[in-house]
Chains A and B, each alone.
Chain A
Amino acid sequence: MTTGAQVPVPPTTASSDWRRRALAAVSDAGLRSRVLAVVLALVTAVPVVLAAGSDPFEVYRAMLDGSFGSTLAFADVLNRADTFILLGLGIAISIRSGFFNVGAEGQLWLGALGAAVMALHMPGPSWFVLVAALVLGFVFGALWSGLVALLKIAFGVDELISSLMLNYVAILLIGYLTFGPMKAYRAGQTETFEDVELPSIFGNRLHAGFLLSLVAVVCIWLLLSRTRLGYEIRTLGASADAARYAGIHVNGVVMRVALIGGGLCGLAGANAVLGVQHVLLSEFSPGWGYTAIAVALLGGLGPVGVLLAAILFAALEVGATNMQFTAGVPASLGSLVEGLVLVFFLFSIPLTLSRVRAFLRRGPGSAPTVAGETD
């Protein structure tokens, strides 16, 4: 399609075409390649463990014990998973519409800021403050990503770049606030707000954040598969030209997706400060917003997949912490495995079963390209 006298649309349709295709491949890849990726990642980490002078069996046993080994451990995993779930959902829904927002990290920080502001300054009963804090967290995250959408719609700025840049702005902003205007007795953090806390459920093991994220999973599932907006999101994500053909108001959908997706990431931030940290630190997040991109991709950009992938990643992190105590291997092994999972997953996508077969039969270079499309 040539441009010119036509109805204005985001000018990135052609350039984001390859992204759309790549992501279609990610969401179409089967469960098999996902499981395979996890297994390969765990196997590949073995030499590293050996090099560190530990017994891999013991290490993985410790990891497993620390994550799925007991109810207590598993509750820990779920409590850790909620951040990844909310972030993963926010990222997944954005990408599903073809809006390649990598600003989850910034939206997460902004959400945390919104929640902290409310928790510190809002008078009233604590349940009320809690709800208000969650809402403001959502709103801050939504606005942060809405800004990205606005730049895209109004000026044609590629969202990949603007959202990434805004991550640094967000982190520096909170750095400034925690060392400056919002500083408590110690630099780099605000006053604590212990009394505004997400309630615990199921005999104090789980905090309500996990429940919140489950609700979000259901809502996003409904949104994508059952609503008109979901239909438009899926159409736009698959083909911008088809969306225009179908009379879909592309800019409107992009904006709404940005608000919802950013809101979910903001909620993740609010949830983290209100449920666990009870204070806003200048080092609030170790980069969850980036890890969550891996979660969203591994989860196939679908709500249920994101839920499972988030639990897996949370288990890796919680398990790795336990392993550090019992087996003496640094917990960063968990991050290593996370990274490997993603790498293997992305590599496994073009490795469809028929290619593997052809490869085994006749050696490399002879595997037929199985056409994804007919003529």
Chain B
Amino acid sequence: MTRRFGPVTANDDVDLDVHVGEVHALLGENGAGKSTLMNIVFGSVAPDAGTLEVDGEPVGWPTTRQAIERGICMVHQHLMLVPTLTVAENVLLSVMWTENGRRMSLAEASRRVTEIGERHGLPLDTSALVDDLSIGEKLRLEVVRSLLQGEIRGGLRVLILDEPTALLTRQEIERLFTILRNLAADGTAVVIITHKLNEVMEVSDRVTILRDARRVRTVPTSSTSPQELGTLMVGRELRPRRVVHSTPSGPPVLDVLGVTVADHHRVVVDDVSLSVRAGEIVGVAGVAGSGQDVLAECITGLRRSTSGAIILSGRDVTRVDRRDLIENDVAHVPEDRKVDGLVGSASLRHNFILGLHRWDEFQRRGWMRGRAIDQHAARLSGEFEIRTRGIDQPAQTLSGGNQQRVLLGRELHKAASLIVACGPTRGLDIAGTEYVWNRLVEQRDRGAAILLVSLDLDELLALSDRLIVMQGGRLVGELPAGEADPERLGLMMGGSAPVAVAS
């Protein structure tokens, strides 16, 4: 397959074969062309050259509908759901007909979703609005939808998942992997894209590595090692990083005092108090939807708490306008970059100053300073090694990881006293993750207070000087870096461990 986007070649004569009954991992740096390749298979991107065969039969360039009819389903990197519809309605949108050509009813869609959910351990509330689901639940919905589509077409032939694990906690990932292996055993070919080498080792039977739009190699997983994969992917050897934890003695920058948030009369954050000192990274662990994202929204002024106070550097900011916060004191890497942090249709130039656009550097008396903005955008593109054809490129045409880099570049540029980072390395490749981690540690050493909200325990353990655990909107425990390990955290997140002593 070959596909070009203007001057950019996303896939350059890439071959890939996926066998029945295997889990095939697709590995590569940000912008290597993984999503493009899978979109071609799924029929949502047309290749410039190449052929596609299913069961040995050439299929030309399919459309997404033909792909689904052939039992090829895809869970995209950015989920494709209608937020204002319910779970069942979303399924109905893409599964209009039943096996025997009858129109599917909402009740039936709902029933079958529940049924598949039970069979595979993917429970879903079919009448919930998608907007109200956590990201993990949305992913679950996409998987169930694919399964149902497959079921109706008489069997799921190929299931493609584009970076699904970026959204999930450890337990959820393990559950997903079990499902994938079961599917493979039942005769589905599974393709999974991920940046985490340990996940590749864990779940896949074979791995294909892409680099700079070309295929480097396909190898059986059992005959390779994470080190070798890393080297193949990046083109050089990766050194494991070590973060030195700090024991800060600086003054508290952020104090959260008894914050409670009620949403539709449901308490989503329940009397949470915490504090983050200058020069400290505090990690927030918890399964998706434990209230950590809502708490982050409160701290950054996107949402008002129902009660409680938030103190930033000695100033009560509970009711302060978000503009005041983000312009100077607070950097915010939001959970869902596609919704909040970036304007997809706008250029990089536009996105690099989003939220900073009132800085004197970028405007004077209401007039934007084009030259300064361009320089700023060009500099950050370079600094964060963003693969782009220029600062005019619309953000949504960047690869997922590169979009994340735009967001991080802008937020870390602020030199804020508080950084609230939600899943900052979501979708980043190994080198990118390492780079961001280093930048966060650098910011910490500079004296920033960092609140790190992440579902990725490895990330939390690597970076946090102190960890707090949330469950069901409540703060259920606190651990210094030295005492935390994945098992213990996992148990606390699930609410089945004795509550640890707050330090």
B 307-332 to A, binary, CB cutoff 8 A, 1 in contact else 0: 00000000000000111111100001
Cα–Cα distance between A47 and B354 once the two chains are bound (Å): 52
CB–CB B355/A246 < 8 A:
yes
CB within 8 Å for A242 and B39 given contacts A228-B368, A367-B63: no
CB–CB B368/A227 < 8 A:
yes
Cα–Cα distance between A17 and B396 once the two chains are bound (Å): 17
- Closest beta carbon of chain B to A350's beta carbon, Å: 14
Task: Collect the chain A residues with CB atoms within 8 Å of residue B321's CB.
Answer: 247, 249
A 230-269 to B, binary, CB cutoff 8 A, 1 in contact else 0: 1110110011011011111100000000000000000000
B138-146, B222-230, B339-347: which lies at the interface: B339-347
Neighbour of A1 across the interface among B306, B339, B355, CB < 8 A: B339
A4 within 8 A of B: yes
B366 within 8 A of A: yes
B36 within 8 A of A: yes
Residue ranges of B at the interface with A (Cβ–Cβ < 8 Å)? 35-36, 39, 43-46, 60-64, 66, 76-78, 83-84, 131-132, 162-163, 261-264, 297, 301-306, 321-327, 332, 334, 339-346, 350, 353-355, 357-358, 363, 366-368, 370, 396-400
Cα–Cα distance between A374 and B395 once the two chains are bound (Å): 10
Task: Collect the chain B residues with CB atoms within 8 Å of residue A226's CB.
Answer: 367-368, 370
Closest chain A residue to B261 by CB distance? A5
Closest chain B residue to A222 by CB distance? B367
CB within 8 Å for A373 and B78 given contacts A227-B367, A232-B357: yes
Neighbour of A4 across the interface among B36, B261, B367, CB < 8 A: B261
CB–CB B263/A5 < 8 A:
yes
CB–CB B63/A368 < 8 A:
yes
Q: How large is the interface on A (under 10, 10 to 19, 20 to 34, 35 or more residues)?
A: 35 or more
Neighbour of A245 across the interface among B302, B324, B396, CB < 8 A: B302
CB–CB B46/A370 < 8 A:
yes
- Closest beta carbon of chain B to A375's beta carbon, Å: 3
CB–CB A249/B399 < 8 A:
no
A:327-375 near B, CB below 8 Å = 354, 358, 362, 365-375
Neighbour of A235 across the interface among B77, B350, B396, B400, CB < 8 A: B350
CB within 8 Å for A5 and B303 given contacts A227-B368, A245-B354: yes
CB–CB B305/A5 < 8 A:
yes
Neighbour of B84 across the interface among A14, A231, A248, A358, CB < 8 A: A14
Residue ranges of A at the interface with B (Cβ–Cβ < 8 Å)? 1-7, 14-15, 17, 24, 28, 226-232, 234-235, 238-239, 241-242, 244-249, 354, 358, 362, 365-375
Closest chain A residue to B357 by CB distance? A231
- Closest beta carbon of chain B to A347's beta carbon, Å: 20
Cα–Cα distance between A2 and B302 once the two chains are bound (Å): 12
21 A-B contact pairs sorted by A residue (CB < 8 Å): A1-B339, A4-B261, A5-B263, A14-B83, A226-B370, A227-B367, A228-B366, A235-B346, A235-B354, A242-B341, A242-B342, A244-B322, A245-B332, A247-B355, A354-B46, A365-B63, A368-B43, A369-B64, A374-B39, A374-B399, A375-B163
Q: A247-B325, A366-B63 are in contact. List 20 more A-B contacts (CB 8 A).
A: A1-B131, A3-B264, A5-B261, A5-B303, A228-B357, A231-B353, A238-B343, A242-B339, A242-B354, A245-B334, A245-B354, A247-B358, A362-B60, A367-B63, A368-B45, A368-B46, A369-B63, A371-B44, A373-B344, A375-B35
CB–CB B322/A247 < 8 A:
yes
Q: Most chain-A CB neighbours within 10 Å: which of B325, B327, B343?
A: B343
CB within 8 Å for A375 and B303 given contacts A24-B345, A239-B343, A247-B327: no
Neighbour of A372 across the interface among B62, B396, B399, CB < 8 A: B396
Cα–Cα distance between A369 and B44 once the two chains are bound (Å): 5
Cα–Cα distance between A373 and B339 once the two chains are bound (Å): 14
Closest chain A residue to B64 by CB distance? A369
- Closest beta carbon of chain A to B194's beta carbon, Å: 13
Task: Collect the chain A residues with CB atoms within 8 Å of residue B354's CB.
Answer: 235, 242, 245-246
CB–CB A231/B44 < 8 A:
no
Cα–Cα distance between A248 and B322 once the two chains are bound (Å): 9
Cα–Cα distance between A7 and B55 once the two chains are bound (Å): 54
CB–CB B304/A5 < 8 A:
yes
- Closest beta carbon of chain A to B3's beta carbon, Å: 11
